[in-house]
Amino acid sequence: MGANTSQVSDLSESQSIRTLIGPDAISENEPFWNQLISFTFTSPTCSADAKLLEEAVVPLAKTLIQNNPRSGNFGALVRVFLSRTKELKISTECQDQLFIWQAHNALFLVRCLLKVFIREMSEEELHLQFSYQERVPGTYDSICKDLLEELVCNLVHLIVEVPLLDITYNILFEAVTTLLVLMSYQLFHKEVLKEGLIYGYLTRGRCLSLTSRLVKTLLYNFIRQEKCPAATHVLQTQSDGGGMLYGLASGVASGLWSVFTLGGVSSRPGAEQDQNPLPLSNQSLLLLLVLANLTDGADCPNPYRQAVTCFKNTQDSSSLPSPQPHTFQINFNSLYTALYEQQKSDQVTLLLYTLLHQNSNMRTYILSRTDMENLVLPILEILYHVEERNSHHVYMALIILLILTEDDTFNRSIHEVMLKNISWYTERVLTEISLGSLLILVVIRTIQFNMTRTRDKYLHTNCLAALANMSAQFRNLHQYAAQRIISLFALLSKKHNKVLEQATQSLHGPLGADDRTVLPDYAQDLNVIEEVIRMMLEIINSCLSNSLHHNPNLLYALLYKRELFEQFRSHPSFQDIMQNLDTVIGFFSQRLEQAGSDLSVERVQEVIKKGAAALPKERLKKFPELKFKYVEEEQPEDFFIPYVWSLVFNSGVGLYWNSQGIELFSMDSP
């Protein structure tokens, strides 16, 4: 850093860095600080470059940890940054790029050092690193009683008060990233942290009053999807006199700045931009998810979750004051657009889940949209490529569908939206299909994938619950969707028979078989399969009972494979539900027999359509309406906090953590 640093490998040779981490205290008003924070570099945007930086910083930071109790230089560096943040808003208004640039560099140094400190020490020990200070005559004696709290509050102020412009993009990104780093203690603990210094600063301290503004700003950073501006050489326009503000001789100033590159990043900015074109948007979303998933304190609920739960649409003209604290207004249309445009990433799917589940205003708005396909299609595409996605992402996508299918208006409207040529659906050419039929196809495919690969009961349950919620509203099912419903039943029937056969063989094993051999738990397998079969029969029955005349294709598929259902007619688990299917199959079979033999497909469909109008509904037994509602587990933080931090670990822009020492989740987690 400073005058002569040009790449990561030179860090340890830099005189400025050696002075900073050395045992001698540096007074805050010395020209050294201006020299230290005057460098130009391309910030790391991928983990490979961040790894290079981290490996170079670790030994330097460890030296500083040893010397800082005597020198207090880390605290001095933080105070240098804080002194510059006081003028940031004015600097932005005046387009004072040099001032913003130096403040950014100071914060970047603080963040790099903090990252190592947090790995090496407890929060209490970190707090001490902030409190060491040189005490000699003539030095500036900080009035900050708690420098760590001052830093946290300043970062929050910076994020909410400094407008997002090309010249402020990098420092805003750095402020968001530094807050993430400060909260990364969670990575090194297996248990979910429910308290702590930094937690307290953010949820109970001076930051509390800024909760709604911080959540709103992070959401808008996500919504705006601003690309990182091209690197600007601020000093070409401000080398004259700009340095004088900080006691630098103007003749010397031009020699103090150098280019700091990371692993050749600056020579190929295009490639890095393509990898992470929206670093501030991505990082802001990760910070928002971390804050929203903090646990409630013993004496106060998580204010960030409260803010996420209750914000309203800017179009909401309701004059009633909100009873909830930390409420605010945001443009729902812009947020909806950003949600469906960016849906392929885990963190955006998790944000959509959070808003649908926790914010009733946003859920009502989403369900009222007439372009629902924009949101639903990306969710279906995630599920369609289930083998390429991690299990958490698939769960979130499925639960979103389950929440949407709790609404009858949604279940009706999706059958009215017609789609043409779904390019990502490759199993069959679908030239025209309703959104509802496509949803059924993708959910059934997910069930079949799960049956053959992961065998996850939780996944089955959510898939079947979504289909069950929709079943009474099935309308004009596509021929292929109807076939797949019956094909899934055929697959379940085959699996049921196979497990029964295996169970029978295991009970009558060959004489002399080793009694100590542990037999598979066929009873448990059979129980699960029969639950799924029961659910599928209920789904088919619900459709026949409520909308038989709207679904000739399902009736056709049912009649074509009617022999599948015969074995379940006398089964005690299915007798009641089979009554209606028997009635329908018997009624239409009789009609088809009366119409003659060797009927064409068209003639069969004609008989089915006429018969559907003629079948007396009173002949069908009434069953309770199929309705399933998503409910979170009792301690959702046990799932969501490791998940959110795994996203930070894997997707944080320019952040790298060595996997050794990570306790919160295993390295094969998503």
pLDDT digits (tens, 9 = 90+) for 324-340: 788 899 999 999 999 99
Query: Residue 252 pLDDT > 50, yes or no?
Result: no
User: Has residue 237 been placed in a domain?
Assistant: no
- One domain for residues 43 and 169: yes
Taking each helix axis from N to C end, the angle separating 360-368 and 332-341, rounded to the nearest 10 degrees, works out to 70
User: Has residue 169 been placed in a domain?
Assistant: yes
What tokens were used for 438?
């496509």
Of the candidates 622, 618, 490, the one whose C-alpha atom is nearest the C-alpha of residue 562 is 490
Residue type, 545: S
Let me know if 31 is exposed, middle or buried by CB neighbors in 10 A (0-12, 13-18, 19+).
middle
Give the pLDDT confidence score for residue 501 in this predicted structure: 80
The mean pLDDT value of the chain amounts to 84
The number of angstroms, rounded, from the C-alpha of 656 to the middle of its chain's C-alpha atoms is: 19
**Letter string b/e over residues 466-503, b meaning 16 or more CB atoms within 10 A of that residue's CB:** bbbbbbbbbbbbbebbbbbbbbbbeebbebbeebeeeb
- One domain for residues 497 and 541: yes
292 touches 304 (CB < 8 A):
yes
Let me know if 421 is exposed, middle or buried by CB neighbors in 10 A (0-12, 13-18, 19+).
exposed
Query: Residue 180 pLDDT > 90, yes or no?
Result: yes
Total domains present in the chain: 2
Alpha helices (H) along 134-210:
147-161, 169-182, 197-203
The string of pLDDT tens digits covering residues 140-150 is 444 447 999 99
531 touches 499 (CB < 8 A):
no
- One domain for residues 200 and 101: yes
Gap between the Cα atoms of 230 and 97, Å rounded: 14
Give the pLDDT confidence score for residue 459 in this predicted structure: 85
* DSSP H or E run through 313: strand 312-313
Give the pLDDT confidence score for residue 508 in this predicted structure: 63
Gap between the Cα atoms of 463 and 384, Å rounded: 13
Query: Residue 643 pLDDT > 90, yes or no?
Result: yes
Residue with tokens 């240098």: 80
- One domain for residues 571 and 656: no
Give the pLDDT confidence score for residue 610 in this predicted structure: 87
557 touches 488 (CB < 8 A):
no
Of the candidates 48, 111, 103, the one whose C-alpha atom is nearest the C-alpha of residue 74 is 111
More confident residue, 373 or 609: 373
- One domain for residues 110 and 183: yes
258 touches 4 (CB < 8 A):
yes
The string of pLDDT tens digits covering residues 267-294 is 233 333 335 568 999 999 999 999 999 9
Neighbours of 670 (CB within 10 A): 17
Residue with tokens 């027999």: 593
- Quick one: average pLDDT of 660-664? 90
The string of pLDDT tens digits covering residues 422-458 is 999 999 998 999 999 999 999 999 998 888 776 777 8
The string of pLDDT tens digits covering residues 9-64 is 556 667 888 999 999 999 888 899 988 888 776 677 777 888 888 898 999 999 99
The string of pLDDT tens digits covering residues 394-406 is 999 999 999 999 9
* Side-chain-side CA neighbours of residue 607 (13 Å): 19
Query: Residue 358 pLDDT > 90, yes or no?
Result: yes
Lowest mean pLDDT among 381-385, 554-558, 603-607: 603-607
How sure is the predictor about 609, in pLDDT bands with cuts at 50, 70 and 90? Answer: confident
Neighbours of 310 (CB within 10 A): 19
DSSP letters of 115-132?
HHHHHHS-HHHHHHHHH-
Sign of CA pseudo-dihedral 288, 650, 107, 295: positive
Share of the chain above pLDDT 90, in %: 54
Say how many Å lie between the first and final Cα of the chain, rounded.
36
Residue type, 626: L
User: Has residue 365 been placed in a domain?
Assistant: no
User: Has residue 76 been placed in a domain?
Assistant: yes
Give the pLDDT confidence score for residue 515 in this predicted structure: 47
Of the candidates 543, 547, 555, the one whose C-alpha atom is nearest the C-alpha of residue 608 is 555
Gap between the Cα atoms of 105 and 38, Å rounded: 7
Gap between the Cα atoms of 462 and 630, Å rounded: 9
What secondary structure letter does DSSP report for 241? T
Share of the chain above pLDDT 70, in %: 85
Let me know if 541 is exposed, middle or buried by CB neighbors in 10 A (0-12, 13-18, 19+).
buried
Sign of CA pseudo-dihedral 419, 420, 425, 428: positive
Give the pLDDT confidence score for residue 355 in this predicted structure: 97
- One domain for residues 80 and 31: yes
User: Has residue 567 been placed in a domain?
Assistant: yes
Give the pLDDT confidence score for residue 341 in this predicted structure: 93
Lowest mean pLDDT among 168-177, 465-474, 515-524, 654-663: 515-524
Give the pLDDT confidence score for residue 324 in this predicted structure: 77
- One domain for residues 13 and 49: yes
Q: What is the 3-state secondary structure (H, E, C) of 244-305?
A: HHHCCCHHHHCCCCCEEECCCHHHCHHHHHHHCCCHHHHHHHHHHHHHHCCCCCCCCCCHHH
Residue type, 100: I
- One domain for residues 654 and 565: no
Q: What is the dihedral of CA 106, 110, 111, 117, to 10 degrees?
A: 170
Give the pLDDT confidence score for residue 338 in this predicted structure: 96
Q: What is the dihedral of CA 262, 267, 269, 275, to 10 degrees?
A: -70
32 touches 250 (CB < 8 A):
no
How sure is the predictor about 89, in pLDDT bands with cuts at 50, 70 and 90? Answer: confident
User: Has residue 440 been placed in a domain?
Assistant: no
User: Has residue 110 been placed in a domain?
Assistant: yes
What tokens were used for 386?
């289930």
What tokens were used for 83?
């002194």
User: Has residue 604 been placed in a domain?
Assistant: yes
For 583, list phi and psi in degrees, rounded to 5.
-60, -50
Give the pLDDT confidence score for residue 319 in this predicted structure: 57
Query: Residue 597 pLDDT > 70, yes or no?
Result: yes
What tokens were used for 29?
């008003």
Of the candidates 649, 666, 640, 646, the one whose C-alpha atom is nearest the C-alpha of residue 399 is 640
| Host domain of residue 602 | 476-506+521-625
- Quick one: average pLDDT of 119-133? 92
Give the pLDDT confidence score for residue 3 in this predicted structure: 41
- One domain for residues 573 and 657: no
Query: Residue 365 pLDDT > 70, yes or no?
Result: yes
Residue with tokens 């069959």: 428
- One domain for residues 115 and 187: yes
Gap between the Cα atoms of 113 and 61, Å rounded: 6
Give the pLDDT confidence score for residue 581 in this predicted structure: 92
Q: Which residues lie below 8 Å from residue 436, measured CB to CB, with a gap of 6+?
A: 411, 414, 415, 417, 470, 473, 474, 475, 477
The string of pLDDT tens digits covering residues 210-251 is 999 999 999 999 999 999 887 644 433 333 333 322 333 222
- One domain for residues 45 and 123: yes
Give the pLDDT confidence score for residue 339 in this predicted structure: 96
Give the pLDDT confidence score for residue 273 in this predicted structure: 35
Residue type, 48: A
C-alpha pair distances (Å), 62 with each of 21, 120, 399? 9, 8, 45
Residue with tokens 């997002």: 164
- One domain for residues 556 and 650: no
Question: Does the pTM exceed 0.85?
Answer: yes
